[in-house]
C-alpha cells in the first residue's frame, strides 16, 4: 500500500478558509495506483505541461493516479453530500486501442459505512460523449455539474443484506435495462434501500454517511497504447474548493535537494 492510513480532510485540504492551489510534485500526496501486471503507468512529468512545467501523464490500459487510499478505504476526504465542486483539465495525445472519444477518466471513490460497501462514481467521456473529441487539445470539464456519471459497486461486506449486487448500476430488474447515469448530487440523494438492480440482484442507495475516500484520474481497460494528460483537478466541500496543479520540481530544486543530501552524508561520515 502506497498510502498512509488515516488521512483526514483536514490534512489534505489544510482547513482552508478560501480556495487554494496546491502544487503536487512526484512523491507527494497523489500517488500511482495503477493495476499491477499491465503495461500501464501514471506519473507527473514535463512531457506535455499545462499550468507551469508539468502535468499528469496517463499511459493505459488501467492506469490510475489517485489522491487517497482507493483500495484500502482508510482515507476520508469528506462527505459525498458535502461535495460542491469537482472538475479537471485533460488532453488525449494518442487513442491507441481506447474507444472513440476517450479522455482520462475521473472517478470519486466512495465508502458507505452504514450499508458497508465501496463504490465509484465515474465520468467517462467514451461512454457519454459530453465533450467533442479532438487530439492534443487541452479541455476543461465540470464533473460536478455533469448529469452523466455512472456507478460501479466494487465490493460489499459479508454483513450486508444478501443479494447485494456488484458491478454497474442499472435501472430495473434485468441487466438489459438502461445503465443509470445521473449527477453527483442526484446519486447522493438516492438513499432508499434497495434502489437499483444489477443482473437481478439488489443494489442499495447511498446512506447520508457515505464519504469520499479518494479521487483518481486514469484510463480503463481496452486502452492499449493510450496516452493522455490531466492537470488542475479541483475538489471542493461546502463551497470551499482546492485545486491540485501537477508540476515537476525546477532544476534549482533538484540542486538544493542534492546539496542537502550531500551535507547530510558528510555529517554522517564525521559522526562515524
pLDDT in tens, the chain (272 residues): 333 333 444 444 443 446 799 999 999 899 998 776 677 889 999 999 999 999 999 998 889 999 999 988 899 999 999 999 999 999 999 999 999 999 999 999 999 998 888 999 999 999 999 999 999 999 999 999 999 999 998 887 655 555 567 788 887 655 567 788 999 999 999 866 666 766 556 777 898 999 999 999 999 888 899 999 999 999 999 999 999 999 998 754 444 444 444 544 444 344 44
Q: What is the pTM of this model?
A: 0.83
Given a contact cutoff of 8 angstroms between Cβ atoms, the answer to whether 213 and 77 are in contact is yes
Q: Choose among 183, 65, 177, 173: nearest CA to 121.
A: 183
d(CA 71, CA 110): 10
d(CA 233, CA 18): 16
Amino acid at each position: 500500500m502506497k498510502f498512509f492510513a488515516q488521512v483526514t480532510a483536514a490534512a489534505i485540504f489544510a482547513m482552508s478558509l478560501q480556495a487554494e492551489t496546491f502544487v503536487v510534485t512526484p512523491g507527494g500526496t497523489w500517488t500511482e495506483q495503477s493495476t499491477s501486471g499491465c503495461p500501464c503507468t501514471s506519473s507527473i512529468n514535463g512531457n506535455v505541461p499545462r499550468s507551469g512545467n508539468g502535468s499528469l501523464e496517463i499511459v493505459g490500459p488501467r492506469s490510475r493516479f489517485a489522491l487517497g487510499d482507493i483500495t484500502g478505504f482508510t482515507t476520508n476526504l469528506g462527505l459525498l453530500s458535502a461535495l460542491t465542486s469537482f472538475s479537471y483539465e485533460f488532453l488525449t495525445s494518442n487513442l491507441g486501442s481506447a474507444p472513440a472519444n476517450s479522455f482520462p477518466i475521473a472517478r470519486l471513490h466512495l465508502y458507505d459505512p452504514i450499508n458497508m460497501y465501496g463504490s465509484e462514481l465515474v465520468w467517462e467521456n467514451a461512454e457519454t460523449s459530453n465533450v467533442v473529441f479532438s487530439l492534443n487539445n487541452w479541455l476543461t470539464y465540470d464533473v460536478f455539474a455533469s448529469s452523466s456519471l455512472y456507478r460501479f459497486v466494487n465490493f460489499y461486506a459479508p454483513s450486508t443484506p444478501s443479494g447485494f449486487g456488484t458491478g454497474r448500476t442499472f435501472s430495473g430488474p434485468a441487466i438489459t435495462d438502461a445503465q443509470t447515469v445521473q449527477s453527483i448530487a442526484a446519486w447522493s440523494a438516492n438513499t432508499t434501500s434497495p434502489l437499483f438492480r444489477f443482473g437481478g440482484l439488489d443494489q442499495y442507495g447511498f446512506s447520508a454517511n457515505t464519504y469520499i475516500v479518494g479521487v483518481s484520474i486514469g484510463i480503463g481497460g481496452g486502452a492499449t497504447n493510450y496516452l493522455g494528460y490531466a492537470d488542475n483537478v479541483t475538489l471542493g466541500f461546502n463551497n470551499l474548493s482546492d485545486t491540485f496543479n501537477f508540476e515537476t520540481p525546477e532544476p534549482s530544486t533538484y540542486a538544493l535537494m542534492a546539496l542537502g543530501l550531500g551535507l547530510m552524508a558528510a555529517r554522517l561520515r564525521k559522526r562515524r
